[in-house]
Amino acid sequence: MKKKPIILGIETSCDETAVSIIKDTGDHIPKILANVVSSQDKVHKKYGGVVPELAARSHLEKIDIITKKVLKISKIKISQIDAVAATAGPGLIVCLSVGFNFAKALAAALGKPLIAVNHLEGHALSPKLQTKLKYPYLLLLISGGHTQYLSVNGLGRYKRLGTTIDDALGEAFDKTAKILGIRFPGGPKIEIYAKKGNPNRYPLPKPIFNRGGCNLSFAGLKTAIVKVSRTLKTKQDKYDLAASFQKTILEILFKKTKLAINEFKKINKGNQFIIAGGVASNNKIREVLKKVSCDYEMHAIFPNKEFCTDNAAMIAIAGLEKFKKGNFDNLDFSVKPRWPLDPKAAFLKGAGVKL
């Protein structure tokens, strides 16, 4: 009987040091043998955001320890690994280099294939850890660094339908949290604040709401939050602003997702809609996107919350898909701080962007 591949995945694109081991099961969902994520929240908390040099140093300190831990949990010997998959971009170059160089050394020592994984492709394929996906499908990737709608036409085949022209949605959440005095990482806590507030108290702008197709913009919303924050006097004011911010985001996503679905249906017949990335953990966002999916006869699929935020299981599943197709990389492969899923898509960031 042919041996089922075992893949070691490594993720160090930002401030999570993560290692995972998964095993192929043929036609069934791959089995996660071990999945460990080491957060650096305590390292960066006093700075209010990720400090790249400190993040890289923490990765260096932990990567070997965590790799040994997943081997112990999985009861797999290092010699049983069939390939080493690691995030090679996009991300912070000093952080990417730690994990990817470690993967190179490991692959070389074992004499096993090295697989460079696009972090965004890991998010795109993360639902494969729990369910079957059928190409093509619509993807909304919402994270701290990226916000875009894509048509996923196959492994490595992406067509961007819309993107943020400035800030990512996750960044808007994090900056709003910081303005409200919520300690880092604050983005996920916005939802908690919003539950206690009046979502109709503060009218906030919705940039390019009525133009630009399914492209998005959040910079103007952030500026409005700063202005309103200067008038806040009580804790309830903060709750109300958080609720108003979240309501505005939900309205933007509802409309832009309708447009994205229409664009997707013009070129494809698929009906699966994948929502991935850290912001996909927000329960209110899940509710709204499920509703718009139902309205347009799309099947909304969210990864389990543990696979929404950065993790190595999603890197391992992307590595497994590439392994099956024999897509391996040479040891001289360099990390890519910027690595778009759709290389043909126009760069839509910065002043003077025309929509």
**Which residues span the domain enclosing 71?**
6-128+307-324
pTM: 0.94
Same domain, 99 and 245: no
Q: Give yes or no for residue 102 having a pLDDT over 90.
A: yes
**Can you tell me the mean pLDDT for 190-218?**
97
User: Is residue 242 included in any domain, yes or no?
Assistant: yes
Q: Structurally, how many domains does the chain consist of?
A: 2
User: Is residue 75 included in any domain, yes or no?
Assistant: yes
Same domain, 49 and 137: no
User: Is residue 205 included in any domain, yes or no?
Assistant: yes
User: Is residue 176 included in any domain, yes or no?
Assistant: yes
User: Is residue 216 included in any domain, yes or no?
Assistant: yes
Beta strands 137-142 and 31-39 are unpaired
User: Is residue 348 included in any domain, yes or no?
Assistant: no
Following DSSP, what letter does each residue of 174-241 receive, concatenated? HHHHHHTTPPSS-GGGHHHHHHTS-TTSS----TTTTSSTT-B--HHHHHHHHHHHTT--SHHHHHHH
Q: Which residues contact 253 (CB under 8 A, 6 or more apart)?
A: 285, 288, 289
Same domain, 65 and 140: no
Chain-wide mean pLDDT for the chain?
95
pLDDT tens, position by position, 160-196: 999 999 999 999 999 999 999 998 878 889 999 999 9
Same domain, 101 and 141: no
User: Is residue 353 included in any domain, yes or no?
Assistant: no
pLDDT value of position 186? 85
Same domain, 287 and 314: no
**Can you tell me the mean pLDDT for 207-222?**
96
Same domain, 25 and 124: yes
User: Is residue 39 included in any domain, yes or no?
Assistant: yes
Same domain, 41 and 188: no
Same domain, 65 and 193: no
- How many CB atoms are closer than 10 A to CB 74? 22
Same domain, 180 and 80: no
Same domain, 177 and 233: yes
Same domain, 33 and 157: no
Domain CATH number, residue 193? 3.30.420.40
pLDDT tens, position by position, 232-274: 999 999 999 999 999 999 999 999 999 999 999 999 989 999 9
pLDDT value of position 355? 66
Same domain, 139 and 264: yes
The band of 1, judged by pLDDT with boundaries at 50, 70 and 90, is very low
Q: Measure Cα distances from 125 to 61, 182, 307 in Å.
A: 29, 32, 10
